[in-house]
Structure 1
Amino acid sequence: MTVPTDDTGLMAVLELLSEQAPASRFDQVLQRARRDGATDEELIRLERAVRLARGVQAWQGQRRQREDGLADLVDTATDLASPHDVDSLLQVVTRKVKRLINFDMTSIALLEPEGGLRLYVSDGSTTALVAGHTIPAPYGLGHPALAARAPLWTADYLDDDTLTHDESADDVVRAEGLRAMLAVPICNGEQTVGVLYGAARSVRYFSPDEIGLVSSLAALAAVAIERAGSFEQAQGEVGRLELDGFRTRTSLVRLRQLNEAHSHTLGLLLAGADFTTVAKAAGDALDSALHLRDPAGRPLAASGDLGELDESAVAEAALDAHAQLRPVVTAGGVWVAPVTAGAENLGVLVLRPTTALVGEDEGLLRLTAQTFAIQLLLRRSTAVAEGLVRDDLFDELLAAGSRSGHQTHYLVQRARRLGIDLEAPHVLLVARPEGGEQGRAVVWASSYAHRMSGLKTVHSGNIVLLLPGSDASAAARAVADQLSPLLGHPVSVGTAGPGRGAAGIGRMYKEAVRCLDALTALDGAGGTASAKDLGFLGLLLSDDYDVDGYIRCTIGPVLDYDRDRLTDLTGTLEAYFASGGSQAAAADRLTVHPNTVSRRLDRVTDLLGDAWQQPGRTLEVQLALRLHRSREVLRRQRRAATEAQPEASSVERPLP
């Protein structure tokens, strides 16, 4: 193209400007004008026109860049308006800023409650040091920007002495190779959220347009972050409300089930069901194995198998349950609920659930305990109602020794109609509360006698019980263990038996009273005693002077051993006691080696127990040995006298 050297040359520049020609085309116009011999004045005018054209092009470029930035800003605002969680939103912001401003790396740091800036997300980082790094106040570029609530930038961060540097933050900047850095505070009104960072890996000076664009993005990010936070909070609240609604619906369903279960349990109670039936219904409703125990821990009813139990933990939980008047759970997940009527301990429920109990289940457990308490009270009321008839019968049985055989037979028949078999072994107990209200003791005794298929009456302020069984001592301990906690005072119990039939009941009563009196004389109030428990003193107190029983109880295992093995442990014991407890002297008496005596005494210890050489027990053993020896001598004398009589006398018979 020929470049004119007059004013028409300016028109060529305008044409190139209108065509948005590149800068090299304007240089070509100047070169050709010089080559074609343009005058200096023409060249000056042409150069000025080129400069102006280039200025217009630069302005147009800036305008296009601003328009592109505004378009990207609108696109970014549109992206931020879409639903995002906070982490995703921060990723969107860093990615947009990096692309719009042509940064090498962008990141967002959020303000921590302690005042530090923690880097949460980044785009363009080349190391793992950025994410999670905390910049403490007042170091770095972000904290001054927050304090000023205005953007701050530096062309070369590490060489900028106007900043307060933090060594750890500088290490991160150095590892990333960053130089220029821009920090824009993310603020929404008076609330400060964090800082938006943009960085380049070369020295760079940021223009006002770039700073303004990043500030606009930061403002959008602040609003979006608050919106996302509110959205997440709302979602969390909706989730909680949905969960609460689900729990409420579940609780309502469970309450309806528990109400039906409780109604069913009460229906069984009113229908006269026994403890086991009620326990099974309650166990099914709670999906648990359930046992009802009396105050002494003995089972009254069971539904399911509790498995291996830590009985000490259950006993401790039972105490806590009665003290707190509510169910208590052990460390092993076993529940213990108190069965009470007012302040009276009627027993406990022990429950092992298949799954953990919730509040409603615990409520049903309380109601079940109350149901059993009502059932126990109803049974007690029944026992009290029948008590008058049974008491009259017992009073007549105590006086049966002075009645005719026909009258005694009638009493046996009356007892059988009440479900009491007097021909079966039975024991008699006389209990004396050592304090407390007697009325409560009498009511309890009525219920206990009814439950044990026995009889109860009151004589001389003492409670008298006739119970089926063959172990009088065990029966006395059971009564004392249950009645003492109820009264809050010790209970002394004398006992006699076992016996059979109605004729001997009066005799058993007198023997039990003598045992009770012996307890008092021996300062044993609050204990239990039978003639057997009292040893040789019991032998004196007993009506029948059961010498054989006393000997069998005291040294019976030794006598059996001698009889079965043809040994003489009995003679060794006699020699040992006759020698003052000296094994060597006993060996001399028996003309055996001392080791033989020692081995024999060890065998006696195996048979009688370690306590046979204790002072009290030694006296019992010596008395039993003397009685045994005396009876043997008497038997031999009677046998010898019988053999010495004439044969004719054996056929003589006294006249009736």
Structure 2
Amino acid sequence: MSTVVADIAALLDSCRAGAAASDTTRAIARLADSLTQAGEQPDLSSLQAPIEGIRSDYAGYFRRETELYRLLQTAQRLLGTAALEELLAVIVEATRDLIGSQVAHLNLVDRGEQFSTIRATTGARTETFRLQHTPAGAGFTGLVLRLRSPYVTKDYLSDPAIEHDPSGDASVRADHLVTMAGAPMLDKQEPLGVLMVSWRRPVSVTDEQVDLLTSLASLAAVAVSAARRHEEARRSRIALEEANENFSRVNSQLEWGAQAHDRLLALLLPGTGIDAVAETMNELLGAKAAVLDPQGVLLAAAPLSWRPVIARGDLDRIAAGGRTAHVTGEGGAPLWAASAHSGGEPLAVLVVERDDLLDMEHLLLERAATATALLLATMHAISEAQFRSSADLVTDLVRGRRLDNVDRQAASLGLELSRPNVVLVTSTLSDRRRQTRSLFRGHAHRVGGLSGEIDGHLVAILPLADPHAAATDVATAFNEAGLLVAVGASGPATRPSDIEQHYAAALDCATAQDTLTGHGPATIDTLGFVGLLLANPDRAQLSDFVHRRVGALEEHDTDRHTSLIPTLEAYLDRDRSIRAAAQHLHVHTNTVQQRLQRIETLLDVDLHTTSSATELHLALRLRRLLRTMS
């Protein structure tokens, strides 16, 4: 009897364990054998059906338990995945694995519900299928979303319920798919997409598989919605961070702008120099800064050693414009520049060295240029007022007028006439007069002297003792600015009454230097024989010397309208080269040769001898100087 009980227990365990039907049949056969051995003749065939039902139920329980466990594992994987694309890949892999299909794929519809696109797939063999893109409402996806419920088709291509799309059918045909099942992914009835499985042969899809697919689709919908909300939250966070950064940046710019505004206003306070402009821009922009005049001459720089070099064409373009301009300086330096205008006239150019400027920094540079223009205009007005006072005094001194009162007036302007003073005079101004005046006046002001303008010549009285050094300093400044101006100097004068005499000497030196070279410094000592000429008050003797040597040529040129004097000058000035003289005079060499022969005849000299040529050359230079100074 115990054997019978044991066999019954084994049969029940087999059913409960969900054993296969063949195992259950063998268990019933063993029970029958045990009963026969016990003397019974049982007919156990009636037990087969109920026991099979029990076994099948238990097998279903085990299968669903396994599916639920795997579904739970899938849910855990989904919850641990935030990136949408990675999440979709997890969903299709789990779906294919749990249902046992050959292919699993997930179609999502766009927010405008215009198209559905395969966003993730596993098991597909062709790119045509993986890249499937069909209009919303068409194909298998459209049918499932319209039904809002699962749908199974044994043969996709021949199913009339499906609104077939050529591209969708082509992709199914390319991958040889036959049977399909799909379940909608809904978020509060909003269609997100469809989760689908498919086989490359006709199969019967069970209700359990459909239920599992539906559960997976619901789980996928929750996961996709969560991922989208997570992505939206991430984008919102990024947008909020960017907005916060923008706010902080704008706030910083406003604070910087307020500070910059205050600094620019400070430039207009009395006593501010042009150096303050460069220093302010250097500090506000963190860049090298400089102020140039319209010709490119440096007026101020920060740091002091910086010397920006801008091409002349670029400088003219900047000076003519009113907005910030980008130019390339010497050595490829990136420069930004703005012009300072007053009454339509360019006064200066403000330059900074930076790779780039923000919009507010562009505006700051332009406003700084405006402040620079106001500062320069104010300084110019003050300078003009001071210049008029000093110019009147200089005129009185060089004319020898009102000398009884000049000491006190000069002292009020900062000049002591009882100490050594040098008189400077320039040659007659021609071009770029404003710049020439500005440089000359600025130099006189820096050394504590007075300046004026008399008969087209700039005049300065400087508290210095060395006339040559004083003239050289001014001439060097002119030369660096590209100005061709001769500067004569005389002195020192220790009394107001000496200044008139030194003015006349300085004027003669400037005139002589202008005649000789057109520019540079000159004093009685540096002019050589010309200096001796200027120092000799009896010029009648010198005129007689000139007349004796070349007077016959002057008379011949006057009476017969010839050009013997110019020809002789060209010949002697060019080392007695007939060819060079002919080129200078624009005549043929034979013409020069004939004129020289005529000159030798008239003067009874031999131009090939050094002594004759030297004496005639000296006479011609004296003639030119005497005519200039007369």
TM over 0.5: yes
1:346 aligns with 2:347: yes
**Corresponding letter in the other structure for 2:578:** D
Distance 1:267 1:24 in 2: 104
| TM-aligned CA distance change 1:571 to 1:125, over 3 Å | closer
Distance 1:205 1:237 in 2: 47
Hey, what does 2:386 align to over in structure 1?
A: 386
Mean Cα displacement is larger for which, 207-216 or 14-23?
A: 14-23
Hey, what does 2:152 align to over in structure 1?
A: 153
Distance 2:365 2:239 in 1: 29
In the alignment, is the contact (CA less than 8 A) between 1:156 and 1:204 conserved in 2?
Answer: no
**Corresponding letter in the other structure for 2:223:** A
Shift of 1:371: 4.8
SS of residue matched to 1:356: coil
**Corresponding letter in the other structure for 2:392:** D
Distance 1:626 1:408 in 2: 62
**Corresponding letter in the other structure for 1:393:** L
Shift of 1:627: 11
Hey, what does 1:108 align to over in structure 2?
A: 106
Hey, what does 2:49 align to over in structure 1?
A: 51
In the alignment, is the contact (CA less than 8 A) between 1:425 and 1:470 conserved in 2?
Answer: no
In the alignment, is the contact (CA less than 8 A) between 2:319 and 2:340 conserved in 1?
Answer: no
Match of 2:578 among 554, 557, 568: 568
Hey, what does 1:208 align to over in structure 2?
A: 207
Distance 1:428 1:257 in 2: 50
| TM-aligned CA distance change 1:410 to 1:51, over 3 Å | same
SS of residue matched to 1:562: coil
In the alignment, is the contact (CA less than 8 A) between 1:318 and 1:337 conserved in 2?
Answer: yes
Hey, what does 1:99 align to over in structure 2?
A: 97
| TM-aligned CA distance change 1:264 to 1:552, over 3 Å | farther
SS of residue matched to 1:197: strand
Shift of 1:292: 0.9
| TM-aligned CA distance change 1:22 to 1:498, over 3 Å | closer
Distance 1:507 1:551 in 2: 33
In the alignment, is the contact (CA less than 8 A) between 2:105 and 2:197 conserved in 1?
Answer: yes
Distance 1:628 1:211 in 2: 131
Hey, what does 1:559 align to over in structure 2?
A: 572
Distance 2:113 2:88 in 1: 21
Distance 1:421 1:575 in 2: 45
Shift of 1:194: 3.2
In the alignment, is the contact (CA less than 8 A) between 1:446 and 1:456 conserved in 2?
Answer: no
Distance 2:114 2:422 in 1: 90
**Runs of 5+ consecutive residues of structure 2 not aligned to the other structure:** 445-449, 461-470, 491-499, 508-514, 519-538, 551-562, 617-630
In the alignment, is the contact (CA less than 8 A) between 1:383 and 1:447 conserved in 2?
Answer: no
In the alignment, is the contact (CA less than 8 A) between 1:10 and 1:46 conserved in 2?
Answer: no
In the alignment, is the contact (CA less than 8 A) between 1:290 and 1:352 conserved in 2?
Answer: yes
In the alignment, is the contact (CA less than 8 A) between 2:350 and 2:369 conserved in 1?
Answer: yes
Distance 2:311 2:485 in 1: 36
* 1:244-255 mapped onto 2 (5 Å cutoff): 244-246=243-245, 248-249=247-248
SS of residue matched to 1:204: coil
| TM-aligned CA distance change 1:17 to 1:575, over 3 Å | closer
* 1:187-586 mapped onto 2 (5 Å cutoff): 187-189=186-188, 191-246=190-245, 248-249=247-248, 272=271, 274-276=273-275, 278-303=277-302, 305=306, 309=310, 312-313=313-314, 315-320=316-321, 322=322, 324=323, 327-330=324-327, 333-340=334-341, 345-353=346-354, 356-359=356-359, 361-362=361-362, 364-366=364-366, 368-393=368-393, 395-396=395-396, 400=398, 403=400, 417=415, 423-429=423-429, 450-451=441-442, 453=444, 455=451, 500=489, 559-563=572-576, 567-569=577-579, 572=582, 577=587
Distance 2:581 2:458 in 1: 43
Shift of 1:301: 1.7
Distance 2:129 2:26 in 1: 50
**Corresponding letter in the other structure for 2:204:** Y
**Corresponding letter in the other structure for 1:199:** S
In the alignment, is the contact (CA less than 8 A) between 2:570 and 2:585 conserved in 1?
Answer: no
In the alignment, is the contact (CA less than 8 A) between 2:423 and 2:502 conserved in 1?
Answer: no
Distance 1:61 1:148 in 2: 32
CA deviation digits over 1:158-210, x for unaligned, max 9?
676866364687467645x6543333343324544333232334432223332
Shift of 1:48: 6.1
Shift of 1:107: 2.6
**Corresponding letter in the other structure for 2:236:** E
**Corresponding letter in the other structure for 1:298:** V
| TM-aligned CA distance change 1:289 to 1:391, over 3 Å | same
In the alignment, is the contact (CA less than 8 A) between 1:182 and 1:197 conserved in 2?
Answer: yes
Hey, what does 2:82 align to over in structure 1?
A: 84
Shift of 1:568: 2.9
CA deviation digits over 1:449-505, x for unaligned, max 9?
74464856799xxx986688669x999998xxxxxxxxxxxxxxxx99765566798
Distance 1:629 1:140 in 2: 121
Hey, what does 1:608 align to over in structure 2?
A: none
**Corresponding letter in the other structure for 1:213:** L
Hey, what does 1:646 align to over in structure 2?
A: none
Shift of 1:23: 1.1
TM-score by structure 2 length? 0.61
In the alignment, is the contact (CA less than 8 A) between 1:98 and 1:123 conserved in 2?
Answer: yes
Mean Cα displacement is larger for which, 270-279 or 387-396?
A: 270-279
SS of residue matched to 2:300: strand
Distance 1:206 1:466 in 2: 114
RMSD value over aligned CA atoms? Answer: 6.2
In the alignment, is the contact (CA less than 8 A) between 1:187 and 1:193 conserved in 2?
Answer: yes
SS of residue matched to 1:103: coil
**Corresponding letter in the other structure for 2:572:** L
CA deviation digits over 1:228-285, x for unaligned, max 9?
2222222233234334445655666677678668767877885956434652453254
| TM-aligned CA distance change 1:630 to 1:80, over 3 Å | farther
**Runs of 5+ consecutive residues of structure 1 not aligned to the other structure:** 434-440, 479-494, 510-529, 534-543, 591-621, 641-656
Distance 2:568 2:244 in 1: 76
CA deviation digits over 1:327-346, x for unaligned, max 9?
34458842122334576643
In the alignment, is the contact (CA less than 8 A) between 2:132 and 2:168 conserved in 1?
Answer: no
Hey, what does 1:487 align to over in structure 2?
A: none
SS of residue matched to 2:572: helix
Mean Cα displacement is larger for which, 446-455 or 404-413?
A: 404-413
| TM-aligned CA distance change 1:88 to 1:49, over 3 Å | same
Distance 1:222 1:632 in 2: 124
| TM-aligned CA distance change 1:34 to 1:572, over 3 Å | closer
TM-score by structure 1 length? 0.59
**Corresponding letter in the other structure for 1:379:** M
Shift of 1:392: 1.9
Distance 1:425 1:346 in 2: 26
Distance 1:531 1:265 in 2: 49
SS of residue matched to 2:351: strand
